[in-house]
Structure 1
Amino acid sequence: MKKLTSFLHTPIRKNVFWPPFLLILAAVGTSLISADFFESSMKSINNFILDHFSLFFSYSSFAMVLTCILVGCSPLGNVRIGGKAAKPKFNRISWFSIVLCTTVAVGILFWGSAEPLFHFLRPPSFTAYTSGSEAAAQFSMGAIFLHWGLTPYAIYAIPSLGIALAIYNANLTFSLSSPLAPLIGKNSRPKLAALIDMVCLFALVAGMSASLGAGILSISGGIADQWGTLDRGFLLPLVTFAIICSFILSASSGIDRGIKNLSQINFLFFVLFSIIILFIGPSTAMVDAAFEGAKSYIKNVLPLSLQWDDVRNSEWSQSWSVFNWANWMAWAPITALFLGKIAYGRTVREFLLFNWLLPAIFCLCWMSIFGGSTLFYASQDTDLFKNLLETSGPESIIYQVFGEIGFTNILRPAFVMAMFISYVTAADSSTEAMASLSMKKFSLEKFDSDTNLKVIWGTLVGLLAWIMITFAGIDGIKMLSNLGGLPALLLLTGITISLNKMMWHPKKYLNR
C-alpha cells in the first residue's frame, strides 16, 4: 500500500505518460480479448506505413550516414562536448563497451545467422539470383553489411550527438526536443517538448518489444534445443517473465555502475565468443564472406539505400531494409538520451569514432563470422537449413550452426546466457530513461526516476512482445518495428536537419 501511495504522488508528466500508456494498454487489452481483430488491425496499420513511408525511411537513413561523414570532416568535429575544460566520465574501453552493448541488444545475436540465410534461400526478385546460389550468398553478405553497419549506427549517432551538443554546449534542457532548437527555434521548443517526449515513449515501447520478441524467440529456441521435451507454448511466457524481471531489477538498482559492469562483461563475451568461433569454425569461409560482403556492399549500397529502379517499394526492401531502419529508429531517440549524456568530455570527432565507426566495424566482423559460417554450412546442405527455417523458425539456425561446428553443449548454453545478458544490458538504460521522461523532475546529473514507473513500462514492453510473437511470430516483430519507427522517423529527420545547420553555423547555436 505504501508503494502504491508513493506512486500516486509521483510527479508524473501527465501529458507525456498517460497517452502512450493508455494506447499501449488498450492494444494489449484488445489483443487479449480479440486476437484476430488485433492482428488484422496491426497488419492494416503496418501496410499503410510501408505503402506511404518506405522511401522516407530509406532516404532519411542515408542522409544520416552522409551527415556523420560531413560533421566528422567539418570544424564542428573539433568541438569538445561540454566545453574545452570538460573531462570524460569513462575511459575509452568502458565507453565503447557501454555504447556497443546499449545499442546492439539481441540484434547481432539473433540475426547474425538468421538474416543471411533468409537472403541466401530467398533472394529478392529484382536480383534474379537462384536460391542457394553463390551469387545469392554474396548478395546476402552485402545486405547484412548494409543493415548492420554504417547506416544503423548513423541512426544512433545523429540523435545522440544532437542531444550531447544541445545539453552540454547549448545549455538546453535534457529533453528530446532540445536538439531541434536550430530547426524550430529555442522559443518554440518548450511547447513541443511534451509532444515529442510522448511520441518517443510510444516508439520505444514498440521498438523494445520488437527486440525483446527476437530475444524471447532465440532464447526459447536454445532452451528447446537443449531440452527437446519442453513445450514452446510454455517456454515463451516463462522466458518473457524472466527477462522482464531481470531488466526491471537492473534498472531499479542504479544505472551508472550497473550498466557499466554489465556492458564490460557483455563486451568481453562478444570478443571471446567470436574469436572462439573464428578458430574452431570454417575460418576461410568467414574471411571470404567478409571480402564478398564488402564488395557486394560497395556495389549495392546506393541502389538498396535509395531504392533505385526495381528495388523501390519491393517486398524485400519493405520486409528487410525498412524493417531494420524502423527498428533502429524506434530505439534511437531515448537511447540517445543515455549515449548523449555519457559523451561528456569527448570531441565530436571522437564521439563519431566511438559511436558510429567502431561499433559498425565490430558488427560487420561479427556478421562475417556468424553469417559466413552459416552460409558455408547451408551451401553444403541447403535442404536441411531450408526445412529448419520453415519448421523451427529463424531462432533455430544459430543452434544448428553450433551443431555443425561441434562443442554444442558448451556453445549453446553460453549463447543463451549471452542473449539474456545482452538484452538486459540494452533495456535497463532505456527503461530508466522512459521512467525519467515520464516524470517532472528530470535530472542531468542522475536519472532520478520512480521504480514503479520502471515496473509499469517494463511490464508493458514484455506483454506486447509476448503477444506479438505468440500470435504473429517473426512477422509480429517486424510490425512492431514499423509501428515504433514511424514517429521516431519524424524526430530523427528533424535532428538531422538541425545538426546540419549547427555544422555550418556552430557559433550561432553553441555557447561553448
Structure 2
Amino acid sequence: MGHLPAASRHPINRPVFFIPLAILSAALLLSLWRGEAFVAAETVLNDWILRQLGPVFAGAGVAFLALLGAVALSPLGRTVIGGPGAKPLLGRWRWFAVMLCTTIATGILFWGAAEPLFHLNAPPPMLGLEPGSDAAATFAMSTMFLHWTLTPYGIYTVAALAFALVYYNRGEPFSLSSLFVPLIGKRAHGPVGTGIDIICLYALVAGMAASMGAGILAISGGIETLGGFAGGMPLRWAIGALIVASFLISAATGLQKGIAGLSVLNTWLFFAIIAFALLAGPTAHMLGLSLSAGGEYVSTFVPRNLGIGLDPDWSRQWTIFYWGNWFAWAPVTALFLGRLAIGYSVREFILMNLVLPSLFGALWMTAIAGSAILLDQQSGASLYAVISARGPDSVLFRLFDALGGGPAVTGLILFTIFLSYVAGADANVSAMSALSTRGITPDAPEAPLAVQSVWGVAVGLVAVVLVAASGIDGIRMMSVLGGAPALFVIIGAALSLAAMTVRGRPSAAPALPD
C-alpha cells in the first residue's frame, strides 16, 4: 500500500484545534478593547482560584512525590516503556538536555536572580525575620529550593510517566484522555476526552504565553542595559517575532536535529553560566548559604509545601502561584516528555525527570540565587532597589555586571535566554500541535508544520499582548488561570499511575527481570 499524503494521515482534530483558538482570540480581542476591565476580571478570578484551590495545589504536589517513590520501589519500576525490545529515541545526555529545556524554559533565568531578592528583603511577616539579615538570606535560598526542585518536577514526572505507559505500553491514542483509561477504560475517549484536550490545550497556551512574556521582558531588559536605551514595545514586538520565527524553523527540522540540538547547546550554556557565577562570586559564602538553606529546606519541607506556618497571602502569592504555573504546563508537556521515554525503564524515567533536574535546579540556585542574595546584602540592597525602580526585567544583567561579567557575559546570557525559550517552545508547540491533530502515532509523531505555525503565532501574540497590557502581574495571573483546570487532569493521571502501580504493570507487556 502506498503512503498517504501528509494531510490525509494527519487531519486536524477540529474541536481540539478550533475551540481553544476561538477562546484565545476572544480573550485577546477583549484585552485589547477593554484592557483595564479585562485585567480587573483576571485579578478577581486569579484571587479566587488561589484561595479556593490553593490547598489542593499544595497537597497534590506533596502526594505526587510520595507516589513516585512508591512507583520506583514497586515492580512497575522495572517495566520498560514500550516493552523490552523498544529502542530509545535519544541517548541519555540528549534526553536529559531536551527534558531540562522543555520544562524550565526561561523561568529559571528570569526568576533565579529576581525572586530571592523579594524573599530576602520582604520575608513573610509571620516568621519575624529582619529584612536583609542572614536568617532572611537562608529563608530566601531555601524557598528557591522549594520552588525550583523536587515538588515542581514531581508534577511533571507523574503526568509524563502515566502518559508514557498508556501510550507506548497500552497503545492508547496520543491524547490526554488516554491518561484516564487505567481508571475508567475506553470510556475515557469520546466527548469527555475531547473536552479534556481542549481545556489542557488552552491551559498550556496560557502557561507558554506567560513564560514567553517573561522571556521577552528579560531579553528586552538585557538589550536596553547593554545598549543604554529604552526600546519600549517596538523592541518587545520584535523580540517576540524573532522567537516565534526561530522555534518554527527548529520545528521544521524535527526532534533529532532541531529540538535536541538546541537543547544540548542550551544545557552547556546553562553550565557555563553556573561556572562563571561560582568562580566570580563569593564562592565559599555561596556554598555555606546553600548548605544552611538545604538543611532548612529538608526540615520544613512538608509544612512549607503546604503553606503551614507562613502568612496565607504570602504563600498564595508565591508558592501556590508556582504550583499553579507548573500545573498549567504539565498536561501537554507530559505528552512530549512521555514521547521521549521509549526504551527506558520506569525507574530511569523517574531519575531523569525528577532527580537529576532537581539537582540541577539546586546547583543553579546555589550559583545564581546565592550570588544575588549575597551581593544584595553586601551592597545595601542595591539589586532590590533595581526591582523597586525598574521591575525584575534587568536584575539578572545587573547581577552579572556586579560579578565583573561585562558586555560579553551579558551577550551570552541574552543568547541563552533566547535559546532557552526557543528550545522549550519548540517542544511544547510540537506537543500542542500533535494533540490537535488526528493520526499521531509513535511511527508518525509530528503534526503538519502549518498546524505548528498557527499555535506558535498564537502563543507569540498572547505573550506580547500580555506584556503590553499588564506586564509581569498579568503574566503571573495568566499562568494560574491555566493551572486551575489542569490540576484535575494531573490528579487523574496520578490516580491512573497509582492504579498501574498496584497492578504491577500497565498492560500485558512484560517487565525486566530483577
**Given the two structures, how large is their TM-score scaled by the length of structure 2?**
0.95
Q: Take 2:506 and 2:333, find their aligned partners in 1: how far apart are those partners?
A: 27
Per-residue deviation at 1:177?
A: 1.5
Q: Take 2:200 and 2:391, find their aligned partners in 1: how far apart are those partners?
A: 31
What do the CA deviations read for 1:201-236 (whole angstroms, capped 9, x no partner)?
A: 101000001110111111111001001123323322
Q: 1:171 to 1:11 in 2, by over 3 A?
A: closer
Moved more, 282-291 or 230-239: 230-239
Equivalent residue, structure 2, for 1:99: 99
Q: Take 1:7 and 1:509, find their aligned partners in 2: how far apart are those partners?
A: 32
Q: Take 1:278 and 1:400, find their aligned partners in 2: how far apart are those partners?
A: 16
Equivalent residue, structure 1, for 2:133: 133
The answer to whether the 8 A contact 2:278-2:367 is kept is yes
What do the CA deviations read for 1:370-419 (whole angstroms, capped 9, x no partner)?
A: 01110111001234223211111112211111111102211101000000
Matched residue SS, 2:71: helix
Per-residue deviation at 1:29?
A: 0.6
**Structure 1 residue ranges, 4+ long, deviating more than 4 angstroms after superposition:** 6-10, 507-510
Q: 1:460 to 1:506 in 2, by over 3 A?
A: same
Q: Take 1:508 and 1:164, find their aligned partners in 2: how far apart are those partners?
A: 10
Matched residue SS, 2:131: coil
Q: 1:227 to 1:458 in 2, by over 3 A?
A: same
The answer to whether the 8 A contact 1:160-1:339 is kept is yes
Which of 420, 423, 428 aligns to 1:422? It is: 420
Q: 1:365 to 1:10 in 2, by over 3 A?
A: closer
The answer to whether the 8 A contact 1:141-1:296 is kept is no
Equivalent residue, structure 2, for 1:121: 121
Equivalent residue, structure 1, for 2:382: 384
The residue correspondences of 1:284-363 to structure 2 (distance < 5 A) are 284-311=284-311, 314-363=312-361
Per-residue deviation at 1:510?
A: 4.7
Equivalent residue, structure 2, for 1:225: 225
Equivalent residue, structure 1, for 2:80: 80
The residue correspondences of 1:3-152 to structure 2 (distance < 5 A) are 11-152=11-152
Matched residue SS, 2:186: coil
The residue correspondences of 1:336-485 to structure 2 (distance < 5 A) are 336-485=334-483
1:282 aligns with 2:316: no
Q: Take 1:508 and 1:95, find their aligned partners in 2: how far apart are those partners?
A: 23
Matched residue SS, 1:132: coil
Q: Take 2:9 and 2:61, find their aligned partners in 1: how far apart are those partners?
A: 41
The answer to whether the 8 A contact 2:57-2:320 is kept is yes
The answer to whether the 8 A contact 2:244-2:457 is kept is yes
Per-residue deviation at 1:193?
A: 2.2
Q: Take 1:247 and 1:84, find their aligned partners in 2: how far apart are those partners?
A: 34
Q: Take 1:261 and 1:249, find their aligned partners in 2: how far apart are those partners?
A: 13
The answer to whether the 8 A contact 1:330-1:485 is kept is yes
Q: Take 1:406 and 1:93, find their aligned partners in 2: how far apart are those partners?
A: 31
Per-residue deviation at 1:449?
A: 1.5
Count of residues in correspondence between the two structures: 505
1:265 aligns with 2:244: no
Per-residue deviation at 1:152?
A: 0.8
The answer to whether the 8 A contact 1:319-1:478 is kept is no
Per-residue deviation at 1:462?
A: 1.4
The answer to whether the 8 A contact 1:250-1:428 is kept is yes
Equivalent residue, structure 2, for 1:192: 192
The answer to whether the 8 A contact 1:121-1:386 is kept is yes
The answer to whether the 8 A contact 2:165-2:506 is kept is no
The answer to whether the 8 A contact 2:287-2:366 is kept is yes
Matched residue SS, 2:362: helix
Per-residue deviation at 1:263?
A: 1.0
Equivalent residue, structure 1, for 2:3: none
Per-residue deviation at 1:248?
A: 2.1
Matched residue SS, 1:113: helix
The answer to whether the 8 A contact 2:400-2:406 is kept is yes
Q: Take 2:223 and 2:174, find their aligned partners in 1: how far apart are those partners?
A: 42
Per-residue deviation at 1:30?
A: 0.8
The answer to whether the 8 A contact 1:432-1:447 is kept is no
Q: Take 1:161 and 1:397, find their aligned partners in 2: how far apart are those partners?
A: 36
Q: Take 2:405 and 2:50, find their aligned partners in 1: how far apart are those partners?
A: 42
Which of 485, 490, 499 aligns to 2:497? It is: 499
The answer to whether the 8 A contact 2:169-2:506 is kept is no
Aligned residues: percent identity?
38
Unaligned runs of 5+ in 2: 1-5
Root-mean-square deviation (CA), in Å? 1.8
Q: 1:10 to 1:164 in 2, by over 3 A?
A: closer
The answer to whether the 8 A contact 2:77-2:345 is kept is yes
Q: Take 1:510 and 1:476, find their aligned partners in 2: how far apart are those partners?
A: 47
Equivalent residue, structure 2, for 1:207: 207
Q: Take 1:448 and 1:355, find their aligned partners in 2: how far apart are those partners?
A: 22
Matched residue SS, 1:185: helix
Per-residue deviation at 1:289?
A: 2.4
Q: Take 2:186 and 2:11, find their aligned partners in 1: how far apart are those partners?
A: 25
Per-residue deviation at 1:56?
A: 0.9
Q: 1:188 to 1:431 in 2, by over 3 A?
A: closer
Q: Take 2:504 and 2:342, find their aligned partners in 1: how far apart are those partners?
A: 18
Q: Take 2:37 and 2:140, find their aligned partners in 1: how far apart are those partners?
A: 35
Q: Take 2:184 and 2:473, find their aligned partners in 1: how far apart are those partners?
A: 37
Which amino acid in structure 1 is aligned with residue 379 of structure 2? D
Which amino acid in structure 2 is aligned with residue 259 of structure 1? I
The answer to whether the 8 A contact 2:75-2:505 is kept is no
Per-residue deviation at 1:507?
A: 4.5
Matched residue SS, 1:187: helix
Which amino acid in structure 2 is aligned with residue 234 of structure 1? P
The answer to whether the 8 A contact 1:255-1:428 is kept is no
Which amino acid in structure 1 is aligned with residue 429 of structure 2? T
The answer to whether the 8 A contact 2:434-2:440 is kept is yes
Moved more, 361-370 or 472-481: 472-481
**Given the two structures, how large is their TM-score scaled by the length of structure 1?**
0.95
Per-residue deviation at 1:310?
A: 4.5
Moved more, 170-179 or 364-373: 170-179
